[in-house]
Amino acid sequence: MNLDFSKNNGLIPVIIQDNQTQQVLMLGYMNEEALQKTQEENTVTFFSRSKNRLWTKGETSGNFLNVVSIKEDCDNDALLIQVIPNGPTCHNGTTSCFANEPQISFLNELENVIEERISNPSSESYVASLFKKGINKMAQKVGEEAVELVIEAKDDNQDLFLNEAADLLFHYLVLLKAKGFGLENVETILKDRMKNR
């Protein structure tokens, strides 16, 4: 990294983002020493402007921010750090310091869980057992769930309809992952189609 610490008295702004949900958790500042400590320990350390010292997030609360990736912006004067938070990030006890920001996507989190169950299978995992049966079985399950959803759509039981919709979406995500894709690949196609309409 070739970061420019000269623009803001030796500090650069750092956006902290949840690696699974993509939710923005907080904004902090780092000097070169804080960045070096963060890289060495894989736990986010800021330079606290109010305390005028290095400050490891979670040093008192235990709610550390475990580093997954560090990316610099196009001007080399800001960072995006994706983390796995160990508890609430905000001192007020909320997930994010931006309390009104909605959690971006549960579906992203679900995709990560599915990938984890496929990569590290266990005998108790439904996803692992379905994956083990192969593409044909996974595709068949998507077909079955789609038919069940169509049947429930013709009735007035909202609860059954929504449960079948959830089953279809879940099995669709498993099939996507088994084929080596994710929702982002489908989103790209839909976005391209939207431009042309």
Q: Kindly write down the DSSP assignment for every residue of 24-89, as one continuous string.
A: EEEEEEE-HHHHHHHHHHTB-EEEETTTTEEEETTTTTS--EEEEEEEE-TTSS-EEEEEEESS-S
pLDDT attached to residue 102: 52
Number of H helices, E strands in the chain: 6, 6
Among 37-41, 98-102, 125-129, the minimum mean pLDDT is found in: 98-102
Residue 3 makes CB contacts below 8 A (sequence gap 6+) with 12, 32, 35, 72, 76, 77, 79
Query: What is the average pLDDT value for the chain, to the nearest integer?
Result: 91
Q: Which of 178, 170, 128 has the alpha carbon at shortest distance from 145?
A: 170
pLDDT attached to residue 23: 86
- Which pTM was predicted? 0.56
Q: Is the pLDDT of residue 103 over 70?
A: no
CA distances from 28 to 41, 45, 62 (A): 17, 9, 18
Q: Which residue has the tokens 């001192």?
A: 91
119-149, pLDDT tens digit by residue?
Answer: 999 999 999 999 999 999 999 999 999 999 9
pLDDT attached to residue 17: 95
pLDDT attached to residue 167: 97
Distance separating alpha carbons of residues 95 and 16, to the nearest angstrom = 12
With contact defined as beta carbons under 8 Å apart, do 178 and 138 qualify? yes
Distance separating alpha carbons of residues 123 and 112, to the nearest angstrom = 19
Longest CA pairwise span in the chain (Å): 65
Q: How many CA atoms lie within 13 A of 25 on its CB side?
A: 30
